[in-house]
Structure 1
């Protein structure tokens, strides 16, 4: 059985509190449980004050087999930020723009060169999704078509190579779109004149959408995942044509990524749970204690206090 934990973003104290609340105890310096395992949903780095400490907790748990983990978009961003561009000397796959430098500033400040190198090596080994007996885990979106595309591209590779990172992170790369979907979620363009400021103050004309629901009968505002979109126009056929809602008969799937802001965790649907409740923006770290159920329940959320 598994305890799934959402985005940590360098917050080691809430992570330790949550693990202890879930009855994990340190043995030989590694948090473990006699009967259960953790599944971490990615985004270990950036933003928070204890990035090194988070990696020192999570990585040994995964390496000793008492936990599993999937990659978050921040781990992939960090890899791309440090990977030289194949065709532009002096540049990197993820450009060193002020926006990107700000996003990874805390990671760069808190990790020594050797610690960063070790972290980058470990990030390369993280899978982008897990499809296990009874449940699935992915950082942002479960889309079977995009996952199948990635599975074929990754075949025979035990970790992310430079070539795969380039293909996933360069806009012209063959894997750019499927990786964007899986690690960042699906987006829809907003009608002309409609925009909003995201959590970091960036002006956006696209918004992440509720990919797990059918778009039928929804407006732009009601189909937006978390962003406050004041638009009651119906969705165009182009969005409906691309939708692949997550059917209620599918295995439960657990995601992070979406910076939910509710005071109390709630399911997205009967078999879809998001475990990112904005610990890096004044929220809390959250887990779901899964014991084999097909229909998930709000009572199984656990919050660090």
Structure 2
């Protein structure tokens, strides 16, 4: 596709909601021609999590991959694509790299069900997942699925070729350099809650660690300010002074990501900082699919576009 690109439309986690994706693309001026959604002057950047949970996973993948193949979009890897690869690869000691536990089967259930009878097609998508980049830097902006840390990005830049079984094995060896880089880049930075406290996550599991708002400077903040999830009793409790953090620098290029299941019923989509934008507003949990429009020449913010909440 030969075109002059004047801007990018960054789209958050889709999770198999192809109807909402088509609605959002149309709202942003994209049109369907020869089975590809495209814009005469703009391209989409998808920030990952195309599969699992939703009712139209095959169609979602078809739309996204066709756009990428035609040069109408870029796509990066989400943790669900990463998990799907590990779920499919056999472990040399038996079983699979990502265990086929009830919890993991539940997470992938909709994808497994919707690709029954289409196993060859699924294998082709897995091969595509293995070649997706984990980050993107283009025309003065950055995209990543969950967390941008310069040291992790430098590590990833040294990796060549697709994500292989050997690399997945290293990345699933707890506390290895690969494990830290892949986990935090794709799933976010977690910190332990104090005094043995825990919370119940969206899938009903009890967790003693919670993801943090990694772009913030924790100085003077409470647990409610800095953690995504926490017991109510911690909301106003100040963070300990010894928390080590690497906040996103206010002069760094704008960074866009998804992953965090923000709730549009509590607050309308908004930037987390002048140069920090989360695009995941829980379309798979009755929220909205969100896009953010960015202009290249003037580094212009055109702001959010979204579907209607169900």
Q: TM-score, normalised by structure 2?
A: 0.91
Measured against aligned partners, the alpha-carbon deviations of 1:43-84 in whole angstroms (never above 9, x if no partner) come to 000000000000110001011111001100000000000101
Q: Does residue 200 of structure 1 match 2:206?
A: no
Contact 2:219 2:241 in 1 (8 A): no
Q: 1:294 to 1:202 in 2, by over 3 A?
A: farther
Displacement after TM superposition at 1:249 (Å) = 0.6
Displacement after TM superposition at 1:151 (Å) = 2.1
Which segments of 5 or more consecutive residues in structure 2 lack a partner in the other structure? 1-6
Helix, strand or coil at the partner of 2:124: helix
Helix, strand or coil at the partner of 2:291: strand
Helix, strand or coil at the partner of 2:81: helix
Q: Does residue 288 of structure 1 match 2:305?
A: no
Displacement after TM superposition at 1:129 (Å) = 0.3
Displacement after TM superposition at 1:173 (Å) = 4.4
1:180 corresponding residue in structure 2 = 183
1:235 corresponding residue in structure 2 = 239
1:146 corresponding residue in structure 2 = 152
Q: 1:227 to 1:75 in 2, by over 3 A?
A: farther
Q: Distance in 2 between matches of 1:295 and 1:228?
A: 40
Measured against aligned partners, the alpha-carbon deviations of 1:135-194 in whole angstroms (never above 9, x if no partner) come to 000000000012212222x1xx22112211222233254401111110011111001242
Aligned counterparts, 1:26-45, within 5 A:
26-45=32-51
Contact 1:137 1:255 in 2 (8 A): yes
Q: Distance in 2 between matches of 1:293 and 1:73?
A: 32
Q: Distance in 2 between matches of 1:224 and 1:293?
A: 35
Measured against aligned partners, the alpha-carbon deviations of 1:61-119 in whole angstroms (never above 9, x if no partner) come to 01111100110000000000010112x12x11001111001000011110121121011
Contact 2:77 2:134 in 1 (8 A): yes
- Over the aligned positions, Cα root-mean-square deviation in angstroms equals 1.7
Q: Distance in 1 between matches of 2:233 and 2:21?
A: 35
